[in-house]
Amino acid sequence: MMHLPILPILLPLLAGILLLLLRPLGLQVQRVVGFALAFALLLLAVWLFDVALAGSRQVYALGNWPAPFGITLVFDQLAALMLLVTAVLAVGALWYAIVTETDAQGSHFHVLFQMQLFGLNGAFLTGDAFNLFVFFEVLLLASYSLLLHGGGKNRTVAGLHYVVVNLVGSTVFLFALGALYGALGTLNIADMAAKVAALPAEREGLVMAAGLLLLLVFGLKAAMFPLYLWLPVAYARTSAPVAALFAIMTKVGVYAIIRVHGTVFGADAGSLAYFHAPWLLGLGLTTLVLAALGVLAAFRLRFQVAYLVLASVAMLLIAVGLHSEAGLAAALYYLVHSTLLAGGLFLLADVIVRGRGAYADRFDPGMRLPHHRLLGGLFMFAAVAALGLPPLSGFFGKLWILQAALGHPWRWVVLVTVLLSSALLLIALARSGSVLFYKVKDRPDAADPVLPAQIPAFGPSLVAVLWLLAAIPLLVVLAQPVAGVMQQVAAQTLDASGYRAAVFDPAAGGK
């Protein structure tokens, strides 16, 4: 039990090494082993989440070097929740890649997939800001190759844009860490929180500037305005299973804001307490408006789904920017909903595209799709969930966020922005559904491309879509217990003093 915090990091790391060694045995062996290990990671994540809810934080000192001198892993309820969502998403994305043979379009897909999970899980568990930078680089390195998997001009251009933007972000990350280390003498998150709580007045300006630089970096990872332009192109141009896995990537940035800023600049930070919250709320509202306009203006289905991801990130930024326990609990509920929905939407969009032949994902009226009733029903279901309309989980998530905003000074700005953006999303998705499933031709014109008689691997690929979209009704049916869990996770996350005690007190942290 004392080694629990490191298991979600070790499993994908060793899986990646094993898959690299198994590569000479062929792709089929890599598929079986890779999927089995991804499912094992899911079972581990379920067990860890249950352990986290039943107990206190657990701290793992790598090499047995005590904090703040060594690297610590902190396993708490928030980290366990992120591990679980990532594992569920990974199983669906990997299954889709296998049954559609997307993994055969390039080399080392399964190795890179596991390395991506290694970086993600490490980022969720680390208790050290510099180690967070290292895990960011690991997951970004894997994502660069996965984004380009399969090649092509459009994918290469999007990949280069993605690489350059994130390299700049990594450089700024180092500048911020250097400034914080110079001012505080530590990069351990718990130790930084303790130092900020007793910070001399003459150093507050430097620490605030470094904190804003960190917010800029995490905002870049989360695709926050004005650093969001890389996301629609990158997510729309890559393969569907990679885009589905990338649905968690923007949430890493939001998680980093909650973990680092919420702990270091939380309620105990004196004059710096929640100084970042107005910035976060204002930029989140701006991101939401621009994301809604992007969904409305999108001329292709994949781009529209990418902008929907951006809109979901904006809702999370707004909820976190309210800096309240109710706002954070609502954000966590909406995070689970939006991440799995986005993954399912990317896979569903790819199924639709493969059934449209040369029409691809353009919003041009074409011939009737194979299985059009089933696909149309799934699209409508996902659209209602994305819009936040009753009775699906998106409605509960948005309503909870709006309820949390009622006690905030910006409540009217939040209410008006969220409702107007939802109206724009409704117009856009209604138009898209009409073009794809209603404005269809019964007989092809002479210039129309020939549609495939059947969608390749339709049944198996639909399993992955249903696997991810099944979270939507589950979050409705289990809304009350899930809401209770999210409130419990939020309360522990906002307990910065408890976090510090767990890291520095072996008895409190179960070290």
Tell me the HSE value of 189 on the side-chain side, using a 13 A CA sphere.
Answer: 33
Q: What is the structure's pLDDT at 506?
A: 54
Amino acid at 284: G
Q: What is the structure's pLDDT at 156?
A: 85
| Rounded Cα gap, residues 163 and 165, in angstroms | 6
Q: Helical H runs in 55-202? A: 77-99, 109-125, 129-148, 153-184, 189-197
Residue by residue, DSSP assigns 342-392 as HHHHHHHHHHHHHHHGGGTTB----BPPTTHHHHHHHHHHHHHHHHT-TTS
Residues facing residue 441 across a β-bridge: 367
Q: What is the structure's pLDDT at 510?
A: 44
Handedness of CA 327, 332, 336, 339 (dihedral sign): positive
Domains in the chain: boundaries: 4-442+454-504
- The three-state secondary structure class of 267 is coil
Q: What is the structure's pLDDT at 511?
A: 44
Which tens digits make up the pLDDT trace of 56-86? Answer: 788 888 888 888 888 899 999 999 999 999 9
**Burial code of 186-195, b = ≥16 C-beta within 10 A, e = fewer?**
bbbbbbbbbb
Amino acid at 458: F
| Rounded Cα gap, residues 26 and 48, in angstroms | 33
> Cβ contacts of residue 54 below 8 Å, gap of 6+?
none
Q: What is the structure's pLDDT at 475?
A: 94
Positions of the chain with pLDDT lower than 50, given as ranges = 508-511
The answer to whether the beta carbons of residues 191 and 68 sit under 8 Å apart is yes
- The three-state secondary structure class of 59 is strand
Q: What is the structure's pLDDT at 354?
A: 85
The answer to whether the beta carbons of residues 338 and 235 sit under 8 Å apart is no
The answer to whether the beta carbons of residues 474 and 60 sit under 8 Å apart is no
Q: What is the structure's pLDDT at 419?
A: 94
Q: ∠367-373-374 over CA atoms, to 5°?
A: 120
DSSP code, position 75:
E
Q: What is the structure's pLDDT at 446?
A: 56
With 0.75 as the threshold, say if the pTM is over it: yes
